[in-house]
Structure 1
Amino acid sequence: MKILQIIHKPQNRGAETFTCQLSSHLIAEGHRVKIVSIYDGNATLPGNFKIESLGGKLDAKFFDFAAWKKLNKIVLQYKPDMVQVNAGDSLKYTVFSKFVFRWNRPIVVRNASEVGQYIKSNIQKNINRFFYKNIRHVASVSEASKKDIKQLFPFLEDKISVIPIGLEPIHNIPKIDLGETRNIVHIGGFTFEKNHTGLIRIFENVFEKNGNVKLHLVGDGPLRSEIENLVRSKGLEKNVVFHGFVNNPLSYAASSELLVLPSIIEGLPGVILEAMYCKTPVIAYNVGGVSEVLNESSGYLITKGNEIDFANTINEILKCRPISKIEHAYQLVLNSYMNKEITRKFIKVYKTVVSQ
């Protein structure tokens, strides 16, 4: 098969990284893949793909004729069997291009979050209904994501599969020196979904009971300066470390005593699987598809918004390393969440879509 993958832009984010990893495995299975981005970007993504940009305009909300036309040209020249869209504005641009220029290729949407959490008005819902009316299939990252989009758009009920995110095998993950303190890590972009404000409150509670502890924040994003100001206002500068974007996030997970994820919106966070793979215990809020990998056997699931319970659980882990949970979580990832097997699930969906 020939697959055209559409991404938001070359950036070091989960959706784009996984798209490139999936594409590499598809090529290894004998398929052909081309990756196109809506917007320009300069990040280096896995697989050394030559990513062609549509040159989309960031300020063009609903009309970017030049980019739609360029995508139409790519579709006509490449002649893919199907087009897969992967988060950001990829669905919007792809559907508009198909609708305006009438190219005839099935669209598969990779749904990596909970769409309903972002739709706040009937206008937004109607616009998104138009987009999803023009696709062939949805690959949701979790049962929670599937349930969310099915409730929002019941007409998709027979067009949804659940295919989780996967990981690449890495042997001998190098550790880094984070100092003599007890180290907690959070890996993720500084966006409202990740709830860094709540995380700082949680850490403040932990710090009051355990002064020999540091919180390492790995990632970057639009809210970083706001969180830096919050940390300064609480006098926690020496105990909250901002690392920014790093090329080796697994090393930070492997070098910490636990990973925390108090997100308020999630699909199925790859960072949880990465920490499990590194044999690092995980504490997270019970949102989205988190409970599909994190349970009493594999980690610690906290009711959304219960910051006291979250902080107390951190202190429990710092006192006693949960060996049995760590091993169970590691085996879960090895058996169910590696990219080679995930790719085969995508291929099965592709074959069904193309044959319809």
Structure 2
Amino acid sequence: MKIKFLIRDLKVEGVQVVTLRMAKLLVDHGHDVEVVTLFEDIQLPLDGTVPIYTLAIQKSDNSKEKNKLINQAFLNWYHSSPSFDFLIASHSETIKLISKFNDPRLISYIHNSDEYSYLSRNIFKQYKYRFKLKRKLKNKHVFCVSDRINQFVKKCCGEQNLRSIHTIYNPFDFDSIQKKSKESILEPCPDNYIIFVGRIEKQKRLDRLVNAFSLLNNSNMQLMILGEGDLKADIQRQVNKLGLQKQVFFHDFVENPYPWIRKARLLALTSDFEGLPTVLIEALSIGTPVVSVDCPSGPSEILTGELSKYLINSYDEQVIAHKIQQVLEDSKEQISESGYLPFSNQQVYQRLLSTFNSL
């Protein structure tokens, strides 16, 4: 099959990482794949496996001008591009772009949940949100990265207004992750630490994690924040205010975070919302326990069965601190692979292929 992915750019962000991973999986199975970006921003390492084409749209501070440039560039590409069987749009900007075409080959792939913000709105704003989402997804095939997003979209749009809707998880090469996790860390690293890996932005609620960490009854425990983002200075000020400068460490993104995750006592996630938090699955696959709030969406689909002991049905910082303390006091048990196998390359590919064939 000829499959194209349409995304905003190739920055170091979750959607971009998993889009490249999905594209590579399809290439490995013999499909003709191309990733098309709106902008030229490329930060992710590329190995040449997946062809990349950029529309090279010039950025503009004027939103109307920017939207006009995006629409015209995509329209020109759409009418002149080589044939394809499916085009998958994975960002809100690109999902909006394809909404204007009544083409069954165009698929909207939703990677993040709006459920948290939706529930915080008044009735009028909820109606407005549902109206816009229904208009954007009407008569489209829709992929969702988790069952909970799937259910939320159906609730907002009405399943009858969609061509079809499917849950397609992010794929993981667990053999590769486990191999990379055994590489050495070639720089100073704490010995006894909890780790957060991700962007330092509002959604991730690092302020919640830092406050919970400050409540732990363990002065020898440290917190490693592995990531970058707009709120880094704010979190550093919070750390200083709480007097935790000697216990909380910041480190920029690294190309291979898995050795850092493997060495950690546990990985923590305290976000307001997610899509399918890949870092939870990666940590479990290399044997590191996790603690996660049950935010929409993903954690409750990952932490099932015996792994549900790592799930917190609360955003309360005291409750989070208690759960972290509890997991730290438990001996590090063997984590069963049955908990993360549904996200393996093989199982995700089979589901994706079956879905394409049904379309």
Scaled to the shorter chain, the TM-score interval is: 0.7 to 0.9
User: Partner residue of 2:339?
Assistant: 332
Question: Match of 1:65, as an amino acid?
Answer: K
User: Partner residue of 2:26?
Assistant: 26
User: Partner residue of 2:57?
Assistant: 55
| Contact 1:82–1:108 (Cα < 8 Å) also in 2 | yes
User: Partner residue of 2:44?
Assistant: 44
Measured against aligned partners, the alpha-carbon deviations of 1:195-236 in whole angstroms (never above 9, x if no partner) come to 111011101001xx1110111111111211111111111111
**Which stretch has the larger CA shift, 167-176 or 7-16?**
167-176
Q: 1:289 aligns with which of 284, 298, 305?
A: 298
1:85 aligned to 2:89? Answer: yes
SS of 1:237's partner is: coil
**TM-score, scaled relative to structure 2:** 0.87
**Which stretch has the larger CA shift, 191-200 or 51-60?**
51-60
Measured against aligned partners, the alpha-carbon deviations of 1:317-354 in whole angstroms (never above 9, x if no partner) come to 2222241xx422x3422x3211233123222222222x
Give the aligned CA root-mean-square deviation in angstroms. 2.3
Q: 1:159 to 1:117 in 2, by over 3 A?
A: farther
Q: 1:270 aligns with which of 267, 273, 278?
A: 278
Shift, 1:139, TM fit: 1.3
User: Partner residue of 1:66?
Assistant: 69
| Contact 1:175–1:254 (Cα < 8 Å) also in 2 | no
Measured against aligned partners, the alpha-carbon deviations of 1:301-323 in whole angstroms (never above 9, x if no partner) come to 11131322221222222222241
What is the correspondence of 1:1-356 to structure 2 with a 5 Å cutoff? 1-48=1-48, 49-55=51-57, 57=59, 59=61, 61=63, 64-75=67-78, 76-96=80-100, 98=101, 104=103, 106-119=105-118, 120=121, 121=125, 122-135=127-140, 137-154=141-158, 155-156=160-161, 159-168=164-173, 169-170=175-176, 171-172=178-179, 173=181, 174-176=183-185, 179=189, 181-206=191-216, 209-287=217-295, 288-295=297-304, 297-298=306-307, 299-323=309-333, 326-328=334-336, 330-333=337-340, 335-353=341-359
CA distance in 1, matches of 2:47, 2:75: 25
CA distance in 2, matches of 1:216, 1:321: 21
CA distance in 2, matches of 1:199, 1:215: 9
| Contact 1:185–1:216 (Cα < 8 Å) also in 2 | yes
Question: Match of 2:168, as an amino acid?
Answer: I
Question: Match of 2:288, as an amino acid?
Answer: T
Shift, 1:269, TM fit: 0.6
CA distance in 2, matches of 1:45, 1:161: 30
Q: 1:256 to 1:218 in 2, by over 3 A?
A: same
Shift, 1:162, TM fit: 1.3
**TM-score, scaled relative to structure 1:** 0.88
Unpaired runs of 5+ in structure 2?
none
CA distance in 1, matches of 2:357, 2:305: 37
Q: 1:274 to 1:320 in 2, by over 3 A?
A: same
Shift, 1:118, TM fit: 4.4
Equivalent residues, number: 341
SS of 2:17's partner is: helix
CA distance in 2, matches of 1:37, 1:134: 24
CA distance in 2, matches of 1:45, 1:123: 39
**Which stretch has the larger CA shift, 193-202 or 217-226?**
217-226
Q: 1:67 to 1:213 in 2, by over 3 A?
A: same
SS of 1:236's partner is: coil
| Contact 1:294–1:300 (Cα < 8 Å) also in 2 | yes
Shift, 1:54, TM fit: 4.2
Q: 1:331 to 1:47 in 2, by over 3 A?
A: farther
Q: 1:295 to 1:224 in 2, by over 3 A?
A: same
**Which stretch has the larger CA shift, 114-123 or 26-35?**
114-123
CA distance in 1, matches of 2:305, 2:34: 41
SS of 2:292's partner is: strand
CA distance in 2, matches of 1:162, 1:178: 41
Moved >6 Å (runs of 4+): none
| Contact 2:139–2:163 (Cα < 8 Å) also in 1 | no
Shift, 1:281, TM fit: 0.2
Q: 1:117 to 1:39 in 2, by over 3 A?
A: farther
Unpaired runs of 5+ in structure 1?
none
**Which stretch has the larger CA shift, 238-247 or 71-80?**
71-80
CA distance in 2, matches of 1:276, 1:88: 29
